[in-house]
Every structure is written in C-alpha cells, then in structure tokens.
Structure 1
C-alpha cells in the first residue's frame, strides 16, 4: 500500500527532478531512515529509480509508472491542493468508491470497517468541500475525477503487484480496494495460484464444483478476497465480466437455476461489476419475457437451445 511517506516522496519528485535523500528530508520533514526505507519499497514496486551522484550519494527520481502519471494528472489539474496533507492510505481506498454517490455504511460494509472510520478518512475532503452530499450519500464533486483516477491507479497497482509475485502473466480484470478478479495465461501461473491460500479459482472453472463441467479455452480466472467465502452469485458475475455473449450467458443461467441462487443476492452482487442490466435480462429470460429479447443489450440464448442445454446437464 502506498504509505503517507510514499505520497510525500511522490509529491516531492513528481515533476521529474532528481534529489538526494538529505534534500528530500529537508523538504518533507521525513527522517533520512524513513526516506531510505520508503524509497527502497517504491523502487521495488517500480515507482522510483535511483542513480549515484556526487560522493556516491543516492539520487532519487520517479519513473513513468501509471501511478506516477495519475498523480501528475491530479496535480496538474488541481495544483492548488496540498495533496500529501489530505491523502492517507485510508482516504485513497475510500475515494475508489466515490465516483458515484454511496452511503458511508455501504463503504464500511464493503471494506469491513466501521462507519466512523469511513467518516474519519473522509474528513479532510469534507473540510475542503470536495464531497457532494446527496442525502446520506457522498461522492466526489464534479472536477475531482483525477482524484478518483489516482485512487484507482494506486489500488490496481497493489493488486497487480500482489498477483504478479506469484503469477507473472496475470492480468487484473476487475478490482475494488479489497478484492481482485484476475486471469492468467500460462499453466505454471495457474498452478501457482491454485497452490496459494489467498486465491480461489472462479468463473467457468468453478462451475465444476456445482457438477457443471464445461470445456475451458485457456487458463481459468482466480479471485482474491482472502477474508470472504466465494458465493455462487459471485461466480456467476465472474463468468460474465469479460464476456456476455450467448454461450456465457447460457452457462450462467444454468448455474442460477442449478444452484438456486438467491435473486436479490445476485442482483446486489451484479451492481459491483456493472452487470445490473445483464442480470435483469437474464431473469426476464428465465421468467419467459423473451418477446423483448431483441431490444436488450445482453445476448440471450434461443429458448429451445437453452432447454436442450438444460437437459444435457440435467438442470431442472
């Protein structure tokens, strides 16, 4: 996670200058030992480079990493703000949620923290009138999209770094501050994530645990949410994140019926993946509303073909 000290260093270096550890200590107020430690962490993660200057002193500079570019964009558009004073790791995580109005309780539940912790992390933004209250909900005010983009870049970087330590070919398909859905592209990386306690196989590959065995083209998807039990509703959404074509939708429909997935649970889960309309279309299909099929965004299966598929897999 990008720490407060890390934010201070990125802010001091984001314009591309080189600086020694002692220069950065004078500028930021951080101790030299804290700067050495933080710089080593940022260098390992690809955010900082270093060279040697006069008397072999370490010269630090930022790279062109997406996190750095997102911070540069934030400062270029909102340079009047002292961002290191406003941004903490907790505030960055909560900013991920604020691209649309959300209740503090919703964010707290999603992060498994208290509502008071959410408000505490948001206080610096409230005091600068950066939040747009809408009843009990909060969102970033118009013009603060670069702040959300920076938060998203930081959190994506964390997930990507975590998974690529085990599986270098992994790509992140979806994420929030606590969870990530990834795909891998080599058999070795599949084996590595299958052996890792914090990762679970998901998507179509997980259907086999429900006695629905499909041919998989390529390597499976994996889910990172170490403090949660993977629910069938999530497996449905994971199978649809990258593909809502007729075949994927047919398989997802089979799982909905076969596992008797709670409709409210699936609808609520789908909101986090941008699949609300897809899931609505799927339930309309199951309820026999196929006459509206051509006007829907989701590619629904032919009813007769779906009934044949149900028969093939013994789904009633």
Structure 2
C-alpha cells in the first residue's frame, strides 16, 4: 500500500517537477536516509521515473501512472485539502468501502480489523465533515468522488504489482483492499500462481473440485484472499464477473443446483460484486419459474436447455 511518506513524495512532485532526495527531504519533512528507501519503492512500483541531473545527481519525477493521475485529479478538484497529511494507508483502505453507506462493523469484518481500527481510520475524515451521514453508517460525501477514485487506484495498483511480480501477464478483474480476482494469459503464469501459496484457482476451473469438469478455452482465473476459505458462493460470483454470457450463467446455475447453495448466502456474497439482481434472476428458474416475463439482467437458459445440461452432468 502507498505509505504516507510515498504519498508525500508524490504530492511534492505532482506538478511534474524533477527533484533530488535532498529537495524532497526539505519539502516533506522526512529524512534523506528514509527517502532513499521510499524512492526505491516508488521507482520499483512504477510511480516514479529516475534520471541523472548535473554532477550525476539522482533526480526523480512522477511517472505517467493511474495512481498519479488519480491524485492529480484529487488535487485539481479538492486542492484546499492537505491530502498528504490527511491520508494514511488505513484511511485509503476504509475509503474503498465508502461508495455507499456502510456500518463500521461491516467494514471491520470485511477488512478483518477491529471496529476501533475503522473508527481511527475514519477519524481524519469525520473531523473535516467529509462523511455523509455522520453514523451509524458512513459514506463519502458526493463531492468527494475523486477521493474514492484515488483509493480505488491505489488498491488496484497494489494488487496488480503483487500478482505481476509472479505472473507478468496478469490483469486484475475485480478487487477490494484484501482480495483480488485475476486472469493470466500464459501457461507459465498459470504454473507460477498455482505454485504460490496465497493464490487459488477459481471461476470455471474451480468447478472440477465439485465434480463438474468443463473445457477451458484459455488459462484459468485465480483468487487472492490469504487465510480465507474460497466458498462455492464466491466461485459462482467469480464465474459471473469473468463472463456473464449465457453459457457461463447456465454453468453457474448448475453449480448452485448441484451444491444446493442457499439463495440468502449467495446473495450476501453477491452484494460485494454488484450481482444481487443477477442472482435473484438465476434463482427464479431454479425454483421452476422459467417463463418469468420480467426482463432479466442475465441471459437465462430455457427449461429444456437447463434440463439437458443437468442430464449431461448428472445433476439431479
């Protein structure tokens, strides 16, 4: 995660200037010794670019990067706030969940931290009247959408950097501060993630673990969520996030039927993926309502198609 020192450096360089470590120490208040480590981290992450100035002096400037651009947008629209002083890694993680009103308990459970930790992360925002409403559920005020965009850019960058260190062809399809769903493009990268302890096969490739074997027309997807169980409900959601075409919807329904996944459980999981309406639509035919007249958010199989699929895979 982008540290406070790292953010202070980006803030100091966001105008596009070049600067030395000594100049940045003056600007940020951090020691040169500490900044050398910070600069190395930012360079490795692709957020900074280095060149040699007069007398072979090391100089850095910000790179053309989504995190930098999101920060510049935040400054342009809300430049009256000293964001480098206000934002910590913990605050940025909590901000991810403030796109809609959420309770402190809900955010704490999702981040696997204490409620006190969430309150502490929210404190700088609460003191500046940046949250709406004021509780017991919190969300960012409407005019703070650039802050939400910056938090999302930072979190996505963190996941992208982590997975690409192992599998360079990876792309992040979905993420939150603790979890990421990724695709890879090469067999070598598939092997790398299969060998990594924090990554698990998911999506259609995971169906084999439940007795449903499908042909994959490419490399499988992977899930990053250390120390968390990958549940069938998550696998259904990952399948739909990766491909919401009619065949994948039918396969997802087949897994629901085979494992008898409870609708309430799946809906609770689907909330994090904005798939509640898709899940509700999928359960109607599973309960025998194949001829529902209302428009569906996903393309559902006909009764004959789904019956044939169940017979093919021996799902009763």
TM bracket (short chain): over 0.9
Aligned to 2:144: 144
State the SS of the aligned residue for 2:37: helix
Matches of 1:67 and 1:201, distance apart in 2: 28
Give yes or no for the alignment of 1:256 onto 2:256: yes
Give the alignment's TM-score, normalised by structure 2: 0.98
Structural RMSD (CA): 1.0
Give yes or no for the alignment of 1:62 onto 2:29: no
State the SS of the aligned residue for 1:290: coil
1:41-67 Cα offsets, whole Å, 9 max, x none, are 000010011112223221111111110
Aligned to 1:305: 305
Matches of 1:294 and 1:102, distance apart in 2: 30
Matches of 2:145 and 2:206, distance apart in 1: 36
Matches of 1:8 and 1:245, distance apart in 2: 44
Matches of 2:131 and 2:3, distance apart in 1: 23
Within-5 A mapping of 1:73-152: 73-133=73-133, 135-152=135-152
Within-5 A mapping of 1:1-316: 1-133=1-133, 135-293=135-293, 295-316=295-316
Give the superposition deviation at 1:294.
5.5
Give the superposition deviation at 1:125.
0.4
Matches of 2:293 and 2:216, distance apart in 1: 27
Matched positions, count? 316
Matches of 2:109 and 2:140, distance apart in 1: 20
1:136-177 Cα offsets, whole Å, 9 max, x none, are 110000110000000000000000000011111111100000
8 Å CA contact 2:130, 2:141 repeated in 1: yes
Give the superposition deviation at 1:88.
0.1
1:240-267 Cα offsets, whole Å, 9 max, x none, are 1032222111111111111121221111
Would the alpha carbon gap of residues 293 and 312 (structure 1) be closer, same or farther in structure 2, given more than 3 Å must change? farther
8 Å CA contact 1:101, 1:134 repeated in 2: no
Give the superposition deviation at 1:274.
1.0
1:64-106 Cα offsets, whole Å, 9 max, x none, are 1110000000000000000011100000111111111111111
Matches of 2:24 and 2:185, distance apart in 1: 41
Give the superposition deviation at 1:297.
1.8
Matches of 2:275 and 2:5, distance apart in 1: 38
Matches of 1:246 and 1:21, distance apart in 2: 55
Q: After the TM superposition, which segments of 4 or more aligned residues of structure 1 sit over 6 Å from their partners?
A: none
8 Å CA contact 1:293, 1:300 repeated in 2: no
Matches of 1:291 and 1:305, distance apart in 2: 13
8 Å CA contact 1:17, 1:61 repeated in 2: yes
8 Å CA contact 2:6, 2:42 repeated in 1: yes
Matches of 1:136 and 1:300, distance apart in 2: 39
